[in-house]
């Protein structure tokens, strides 16, 4: 009988368990908790190996950056007339991605949406973008800290665009064996038992999805 202490060196038995795990990281607390839960529970086979990932496959952290800029702000410049009818961007919280989707289609029907336009110089756009990148980098730093403290090496990916779709697409591209998401989004609505990104991923991802709920202490 093999001891479970020895690291598995990609033999017949170990092969089965190698998983490519994709963990979606965003700024909510639930997300970092999901990461540490995944690390605790999916990478438990090797005990004192300096790098547990050897035995378990790859861990990839993905962070999707939203692009509020193109819908918020328009660069001030020669082409002020926007032929795509996007000159009535709507101001709303960037976090509510499902609302985001709706409002996009509503820009055609200007009567019913809030009308506000922010025209920004390119330098403002740049600084907003840089702040956003800084945020993402900090977040991923924290995530790597968590991984390192559990002796797991993780790869990091940042994608731009709508988080739900990007995460599912990426999972498909990298042929992930498992997608891990937290359960609550940033909306912090007490009655939101499942965030919009997690919900979307649960329905649309092609690979198995693991939804990590916050520990019972946090239930309102």
Partner 1 sequence: MAAKAEDASTAAAVGKAVMVVGIDDSEHSFYALQWTLLHFFSPAVRPSGPYKLVIVTAKPTPTSVISVASPGAADVLPFVESDLRKISSQVIEKAKDICSAHSVLDVEYEVVEGDARNVLCEAVDKRHAEMLVVGSHGYGAIKRAVLGSVSDYCAHHAHCTVMIVKKPKPKH
Bridge partners, residue 66, by sequence = none
* 88: its two tokens: 């009535």
How many residues bind partner 1 (CB under 8 A)? The answer is 34
Stretch that binds partner 1, among 41-49, 76-84, 89-97, 111-119 (CB under 8 A): 41-49
Rule CB under 8 A: choose which of 26, 54, 162, 199 binds partner 1.
199
209 near partner 1, judged by CB under 8 A? yes
Rule CB under 8 A: choose which of 108, 202, 217, 218 binds partner 1.
202
Rule CB under 8 A: choose which of 45, 67, 107, 169 binds partner 1.
45
The C-alpha atoms of residue 7 and residue 91 are separated, in whole angstroms, by 53
DSSP character for 110? G
Per-position DSSP letters for 137-154, written without gaps between them: HHHHHHHHHHHHHTT---
19 near partner 1, judged by CB under 8 A? yes
The C-alpha atoms of residue 30 and residue 141 are separated, in whole angstroms, by 17
Rule CB under 8 A: choose which of 14, 36, 88, 103 binds partner 1.
14
176 near partner 1, judged by CB under 8 A? no
* 145: its two tokens: 């800290």
218 near partner 1, judged by CB under 8 A? no
SS3 at position 89: coil
Rule CB under 8 A: choose which of 37, 72, 100, 200 binds partner 1.
37
Q: Which of 26, 29, 59 is nearest to 159 (CA)?
A: 26
Stretch that binds partner 1, among 37-45, 58-66, 75-83, 93-101 (CB under 8 A): 37-45
């Amino acid at each position: 009988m093999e001891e479970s202490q020895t690291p598995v060196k990609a033999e017949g038995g170990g092969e089965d368990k190698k998983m490519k795990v994709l963990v979606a990281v965003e700024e909510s607390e639930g997300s970092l908790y999901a990461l540490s839960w995944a690390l605790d529970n999916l990478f438990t086979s090797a005990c004192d190996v300096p790098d547990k990932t050897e035995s378990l496959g790859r861990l990839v952290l993905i962070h999707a950056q939203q692009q509020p800029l193109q819908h918020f702000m328009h660069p001030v410049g020669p082409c002020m007339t926007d032929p795509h009818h996007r000159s009535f961007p709507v101001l709303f919280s960037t976090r509510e991605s499902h609302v985001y989707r709706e409002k996009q289609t509503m820009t055609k029907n200007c009567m019913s949406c809030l009308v506000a336009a922010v025209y920004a110089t390119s330098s403002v756009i740049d600084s907003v973008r840089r702040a956003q990148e800084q945020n993402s980098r900090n977040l991923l730093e924290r995530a790597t800290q968590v991984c390192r403290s559990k002796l797991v090496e993780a790869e990091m990916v940042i994608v731009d665009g709508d988080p739900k779709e990007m995460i599912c697409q990426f999972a498909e591209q990298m042929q992930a064996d498992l997608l891990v998401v937290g359960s609550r989004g940033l909306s912090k609505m007490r009655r939101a038992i499942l965030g919009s990104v997690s919900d979307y991923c649960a329905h649309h991802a092609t690979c198995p999805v693991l939804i990590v709920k916050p520990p019972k202490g946090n239930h309102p």
